[in-house]
Amino acid sequence: MAITKKQKSEQILAGVPASPGIIMGRVFLLSGDVVKVAPRALQESEILEEVEKFRAAVAKAKQDIQKLREKAANSLGEESAQIFEAHQLMLEDDLIIDETVRRIQTEKINADLAFFEIMEKFETSIANFQDEHFKSRAIDLRDVKRRVIHNIQGDFIYLLKIQEPAIIVARELTPSDTVNLDRDKVLGFATDFGGSTSHVAIMARSMKVPSVVGLLQACQSIQTGDWIILDGNEGTLVVHPTPETTQKYQQRLDLFHTFERKLDKIKKLPARTKDGKDIELSANIEFEREAANVREMGGDGVGLYRTEYHYLARQKLPGENELFNEYARTVKALKGKPIIFRTADLGGDKLPRSIEMPPEENPFLGMRAIRLFRNQNQDIFKTQLRAIVRASAFGRVRILFPMISCVSEIRYCQNLLKETKEELKQEGVSFSKDIPVGAMIEVPSSAVIADLIAEECDFLSIGTNDLIQYSLAVDRGNEHVAYLYNPFNPAILRMIRDIIHKGHQKGVWVGMCGEMASDPLSTMLLIGMSLDEFSVSLVSLLLIKAIIRRVDYSECENLAQKALNFTTTRDVDKYLRSVFSKKFRDIRF
């Protein structure tokens, strides 16, 4: 790599922290593999050959992906290896394959163009999701699309050689890109696109290297050989750092290594305050493979298992047995720890192609979650409930119904669940007789009547992401008003306090699975409000546990009482940061 001797101006790029750690090093800029497809009209005599060429390309892609899966399992572990299962599912989707063949035959177009255009539709659909967990899955489609098209064109040669240890910078990294890298030479990852749940983030955590995603301008600002500092704790990238900046980050790095060693020591210890209050500390997951990580990180269980991906990553609806097998494997992997299955929160920006719905002017206020199933898609809902109930035979299963806005909705869900159990019982199917049921409190109406909803279920789970958005009338994706989206708004704090209080009045426990639960600044505040359960991102779990173990419940109560008396968001934020910086001098996030 060329080393630039002349000192250039320091530049700081802000992104999203995806894998913790700080690293300094040279850049290897990965330009990416661009798929080029040109239309070609087929003669009648060429159609059969083109169809066979496509099927052969798909078969070879399956073989290639299986080899990558085995390579990932050997070098990165099972969590990273199972990422490629989603790729295999796409290549086994009959609707994608059949539609490609149909277009080749009826429109007489080349196979690579037909497949490219079909995959583009899926990619665009997923990329438009507002939920980052699903938006980031578009990269899987691009990975599969690229592989099949190169196989059709007969030019797929993947050679990526890094001569010396470097920080990989790219617009995006597919799972194939990542697993083919020489891990001994990868110091860290920085990408323009992607979120904290993207596959490059998962693989970076498996490789135990820092990662920052969502940088937007990194590839435009950086060249191979540039010296940079990558901060996976704060989500920043420093290009051409000054000596002063380098010294500052070296001190942070020393502190981080010291704190990281402390975190490792508390994995098996309970999330218990110094004065003896136990907090249930669970994790949010999306895939079966993440369940083992919950146990490894010392989590008390899964507080939110998102089930939407099974519906969004394919053209046809998943069957009961397919869902059951996935759910049962996840329950078994937890080895007795509880898991909360949130039923499919579809609609809004997450409407699968397999469900036909008329267009809505405002889908976020329309047919979403329970509303989507209550009138015309109940069979889809019933299928999922059957799969979850069947999986309860293998462990401690709980069910969470999303976007409940009134008592009649939770009663509808409870009645359908009861009906499902009766059917399974009549069929002689085994399942647990004790499946706690909860309601997600994420719209203002349910927050106001949380006591009435609590009478209908066993627990409440606060979904702060939507609760904040709906309560403050703020579209967090709108750059003009996104500054108003803040969990420390006094109205939101009072609402959370009241939800917890109303739940406790009715004798049910109250948890939180929104992003606020993963925010270290919120931990003492939520403990002080008597929140029973935190369900956090896996990457935040040990940090939140460390904070819990270093505070007294009584001091958290005092902090919460004071925070609730402030009249502006800014004052609450300033107060919490002040307390945090004094009490946790060794913690950076």
pLDDT tens column, 398-457: 999 999 999 999 999 999 999 999 999 999 999 999 999 999 999 999 999 999 999 999
- For residue 105, the model assigns a pLDDT of 92
Residue 180 has pLDDT above 50, yes or no: yes
pLDDT tens digits, 104-141: 999 999 998 898 888 888 777 666 665 555 555 677 77
Q: Which residue reads 């035959």 in tokens?
A: 105
328 CB neighbour count, 10 Å cutoff: 20
- For residue 157, the model assigns a pLDDT of 47
Identify the band that residue 281 occupies on the pLDDT scale cut at 50, 70 and 90: very high
For the chain, the helix, strand and coil percentages under 3-state DSSP, each to the nearest 5: 50, 15, 35
- Distance linking the first and last C-alpha atoms of the chain: 32
* 520 alpha-carbon distance from chain centroid: 18
How would CATH label the architecture of 44-153?
Orthogonal Bundle (1.10)
What is d(CA 485, CA 477) in angstroms, rounded to the nearest whole number? Answer: 10
Q: Which CATH number is 11-33+162-263's, of 3.30.2350.10, 3.30.300.250, 3.50.30.10, 3.40.50.300?
A: 3.50.30.10
Residue of 199, 219, 310, 413 marked catalytic: 199
If we measure between CA atoms, which residue out of 536, 463, 548 comes closest to residue 499? 463
Annotated active-site residue 513? The verdict is yes
Lowest mean pLDDT among 189-203, 217-231, 536-550, 570-584: 189-203
Residue of 219, 413, 457, 513 marked catalytic: 513
Annotated active-site residue 457? The verdict is no
Q: Which residue reads 């699975």 in tokens?
A: 513
**Residue 233 or 582, more confident:** 582
CB 526 within 8 A of CB 517: yes
Global pTM reads 0.69
What is d(CA 188, CA 190) in angstroms, rounded to the nearest whole number? Answer: 7
CATH 3.20.20.60 domain extents, the chain? 269-461+494-558
The 3-state secondary structure of 70-122 reads HHHHHHCCHHHHCHHHHHHHHHCCHHHHHHHHHHHHHHCECHHHHHHHHHHHH
Take residue 81 and report the two structure tokens written for it: 């290896």
Write down the CATH superfamily of domain 269-461+494-558. Answer: Phosphoenolpyruvate-binding domains (3.20.20.60)
pLDDT tens digits, 129-139: 655 555 556 77
CATH 3.50.30.10 domain extents, the chain? 11-33+162-263
